[in-house]
């Protein structure tokens, strides 16, 4: 992102645009548009950083396929105990071709290396999202 000092207008770089496209591809246009629609002047810098750097620089790299990146995010967000972002990335993982079994196994692995309480919380979050997506049956 650059700022035109003469007019104070913000223009987005090609990296930002690539990041926005990747973000929409993984998380869904509806989610991304809703998130960007809530941006305030205060939160604008972090949203632009996330879109340009995280999605435009890192997620667009060739070194790992999106499916692997999604699994890594699920594991890291479990370790960090970031439930909201975990839910977002469980949705993205399904979009990227990660199976329910793979999500379950990744979360099982976190119980050993991150701790059972974090894994239990992540199982709850993932189950809620997967039920909403109808990827697993509702409990009942």
Residues 75 and 127 placed together within one structural domain of the fold: yes
pTM value is 0.87
The total number of structural domains in the chain stands at 2
Rounded to the nearest 5°, which phi and psi values hold at 136?
Answer: -135, 155
User: 29 or 10, which is more confident?
Assistant: 29
Cα separation, 130 vs 13, in Å, equals 35
**Boundaries of domain holding 13:** 2-58
Boundary residue ending a domain (58, 84, 104):
58
pLDDT in tens, 100-137: 999 999 999 999 999 999 999 999 999 999 999 999 99
118 and 72 part of one domain: yes
The reply to whether 74 and 124 lie within a common domain is yes
Residue 137 lies in a domain: no
Q: What CATH code is carried by the domain that includes residue 117?
A: 1.20.1290.10
pLDDT band at 10 (very low <50, low <70, confident <90, very high): low
Q: How many helices (H) and strands (E) does the chain have?
A: 7, 2
In a domain, 25, yes or no: yes
Using 50, 70 and 90 to split pLDDT, how confident is the model at 9?
Answer: very low
Burial class (CB in 10 A: 0-12, 13-18, 19+), 50: middle
Render pLDDT for 11-30 as a digit per residue (tens, 0 to 9). 689 999 999 999 999 999 99
Summary mean pLDDT of the chain: 93
- 91 with 122, same domain: the answer is yes
- Dihedral sign for Cα 57, 107, 93, 127, please: negative
Domain check: are 116 and 75 in the same one?
yes
């Amino acid at each position: 992102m650059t700022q035109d000092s003469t007019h104070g207008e913000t223009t987005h770089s090609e990296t930002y645009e690539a990041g926005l496209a990747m973000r929409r591809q993984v998380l869904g246009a509806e989610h991304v548009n809703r998130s960007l629609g809530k941006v305030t002047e205060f939160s604008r810098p972090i949203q632009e950083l996330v879109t340009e750097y995280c999605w435009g620089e890192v997620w667009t790299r060739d070194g790992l396929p999106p499916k692997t990146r999604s699994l890594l995010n699920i594991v890291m967000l479990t370790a960090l105990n970031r439930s909201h972002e975990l839910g977002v990335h469980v949705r993205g993982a399904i979009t990227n071709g990660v199976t329910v079994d793979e999500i379950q196994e990744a979360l099982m692995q976190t119980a050993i290396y991150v701790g059972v309480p974090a894994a239990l919380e992540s199982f709850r979050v993932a189950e809620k999202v997967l039920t909403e997506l109808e990827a697993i049956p509702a409990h009942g």
